Structure 1
């Protein structure tokens, strides 16, 4: 998904197909309040270089609806997250058409990479976006959405629902409620 004059425009199919396997840069700085960790980039994200860029993804809306950003940012504005103490990375760096195209071994390797990243960057919270991916990556089959007992170094861990438009279990209001729970915990400065 590309943006022109503030509006989204379709990414040509050939560009989407060429994006398979591409990686995108993390949005990160030391000492973030919350580091969001997606499963992996979509083909739209791979084509644009922007996290959560697919037009059906509700991540940016959930951030705003939860009060984590003062307005709804567009994917192309992802670097502005740093101004709010927020960042984004992925468990698996390569872009795929579907999250189900990611192998369990890649998710487990992504968990190891995330641990190293957190040890270097020292975020207060790590919010993994997608409970099923979290269960596999961190060998926590009973994990549920919300705060986790496990930590990554000194960082508290929170699991959020996958904001993909394909996740019919959560409405936009339901996603906002879960993101709000995280915001309240993160802004309180206390573990849940």
Structure 2
């Protein structure tokens, strides 16, 4: 993995990272917003301590653990990635409540246009802020957006100590079963 200086990471602040999307995906994963490492590399969930890629594999969504630079391979599995808020920051707490609300509005329009089977938001706090649902918990939601069901997953950030990779993989696996069936996914 490329090492970036603090100045190079700071230069990535506010950059936009292109979504990995297509029409009719089985699951569209939605992060909170790109971190500086993601913005610097252009690859989602690129920070080394982020557990998204290992958990995606452990839960059976992918036949092997993909690296962030292989993110476009998700499309072959009917999976994609977007964010609630598009701009990159060092920490999610740099985002304002208004940015979350606007991000939720834009995300709902994107989901209605792309029509994934499931929107999977990684982070219950981000989901609550974006959609004004203070009672949301991890798991499937009653909300439907443009025909797409919604599932809230634990945040895979290494800072989320409440969830281990194994317990996250269990929750991701519940979504995989709902979205794709019981068998491991792969070509």
TM range (shorter): over 0.9
Q: State the partner residue of 2:171.
A: 178
Structure 2 equivalent of residue 92 of structure 1: 85
1:28 to 17, 21, 29: 21
Return the alpha-carbon distance in structure 2 between the equivalents of residues 169 and 139 of structure 1.
Answer: 23
CA distance in 1, matches of 2:23, 2:102: 22
Q: Offset of 1:95 from its aligned partner? A: 0.5
**Structure 1 unaligned blocks of 5 or more:** 1-7
Pairing 1:37–2:30 present: yes
Q: What is the distance in 1 between the residues matched to 2:161 and 2:3? A: 23
1:57 has 2:53 as partner: no
Residue equivalent to 2:122? 129
- 1:84 and 1:69 map into 2 onto residues whose CA distance is 7
CA separation in 2, counterparts of 1:151 and 1:15?
40
Matched residue count = 182
- TM-score with structure 1 setting the length: 0.93
What is the aligned-residue RMSD (CA, Å)? 1.1
Partner of 2:139: 146
- For 1:188 and 1:70, how far apart are their aligned partners in 2? 15
Cα deviation for residue 15 of structure 1 reads 1.2
Which runs of 5 or more structure 2 residues have no equivalent in the other structure? 183-187
Structure with the bigger RCO (C-alpha within 8 Å, sep 6+) is 2
